[in-house]
Amino acid sequence: MSAPLSGHHVAVLLGGLSSEREVSLVSGRECADALERLGAKVSRVDAGRDIAQVLTRLKPDVCFNALHGAWGEDGCVQGVLETLAIPYTHSGVLASALAMDKAKSKAVLAAAGVTVPGGGLFNRFVAAREHVIAPPYVVKPNAEGSSVGVFLVFEGANAPPQEIVAPGWTYGEEVMIEPYVAGKELAVGVMDGKAMTVTDIIPRTGFYDYDAKYGEGGSRHVVPAPIPQHVFEKAMKLAEAAHAALGCRGVTRSDLRYDDVNDILVLLEVNTQPGMTPTSLVPEQAAQQGVDFDRLVLWITEDAYARGGAGRPASES
């Protein structure tokens, strides 16, 4: 491949302040290496609270945002980049904030006709005292990613998970509680508004938690997913509709559950900055579509340029 980004200075934002810091470091390293292979001058920026000063000094042409989780993926860093008038990858301020807030994004998605699980937000101390909905159900933070702080409560459980009221709990005072949808864990990557394919995720532990997502051998990915054609097509349409409803841009990944016994498909959430690690789903789906990792990184970067233009703030779409 020639050097399509020759002469361009790209700041790769990685690490950050969230519970997903370690994953972001890997994503950022992989993307920075790809950008260097593409000919770009790359500055690796471990994003801290001095991010504005660092970027003002570096003066990059564009930022490749490889941060995951709170602060880097929820609209905060996006707002800084808008203020600095630096084009950046992935979704803008509003879409990022909406997608990170599970309760608000579910309301928007439901209004757009996307099938989402029931349930709602509950104070964590109330949720720890007694079952607020009948088991089986899922308890998770309202604004975290990568299945951090998620608990399954199965039928017959005597009490809710007490971890949510432990002194070390740092994920907010409210928790999202949803009915548990048995069956398959599916993922759909969306690139430029179009769904790529569907992955069937088979976790080693039976639950697609943080370790299953990012640990070596934590899960097996089957691409394309061996599911009925009508479900495959519906998953693709739901992911595209969710991407559009939240106002996302660039690349996103939607996570879904499919109850193959009762033929029920629900969309759990949209990730506005999907992982770009060796075990990540979106690069795997892109490769299945004939787009290798470097070309995927190139497209994401060029998409940011096209929207923002060097020296101009990227407008919300």
Please pick, among 146, 147, 219, 280, the residue that the annotation labels catalytic: 146
Please pick, among 137, 208, 214, 258, the residue that the annotation labels catalytic: 214
Told to judge if 96 belongs to the known catalytic residues of this protein, a careful annotator would answer: no
Told to judge if 307 belongs to the known catalytic residues of this protein, a careful annotator would answer: no
Please pick, among 15, 16, 18, 20, the residue that the annotation labels catalytic: 20
- For residue 2, count other CB atoms closer than 10 A to its CB: 7
Name the β-bridge partners of 14: 46
Q: Is residue 105 classed as helix, strand or coil in its secondary structure?
A: helix
Told to judge if 269 belongs to the known catalytic residues of this protein, a careful annotator would answer: yes
Told to judge if 147 belongs to the known catalytic residues of this protein, a careful annotator would answer: no
Please pick, among 74, 200, 240, 255, the residue that the annotation labels catalytic: 255
Helix intervals (H) in 161-206:
none
CA atoms within 13 A on the CB side of 57: 7
Q: How far apart are the first and last CA of the chain?
A: 31
How far is the C-alpha of 222 from the C-alpha of 274, rounded, in Å? 18
Told to judge if 91 belongs to the known catalytic residues of this protein, a careful annotator would answer: no
Q: Is residue 229 classed as helix, strand or coil in its secondary structure?
A: helix
The per-type count for the chain, helices as H runs and strands as E runs, is: 10, 12
Told to judge if 88 belongs to the known catalytic residues of this protein, a careful annotator would answer: no
Please pick, among 44, 124, 249, 253, the residue that the annotation labels catalytic: 253
Told to judge if 105 belongs to the known catalytic residues of this protein, a careful annotator would answer: no
Please pick, among 275, 280, 284, 303, the residue that the annotation labels catalytic: 275
Give residues with Cβ within 8 angstroms of 103, minimum separation 6: 120, 121, 142, 176
Please pick, among 19, 24, 105, 271, the residue that the annotation labels catalytic: 271
Dig out the tokens for 108 from the structure.
């928007």
Told to judge if 123 belongs to the known catalytic residues of this protein, a careful annotator would answer: no
- Residues annotated as catalytic (active site), given as ranges: 20, 146, 214, 253, 255, 269, 271, 275
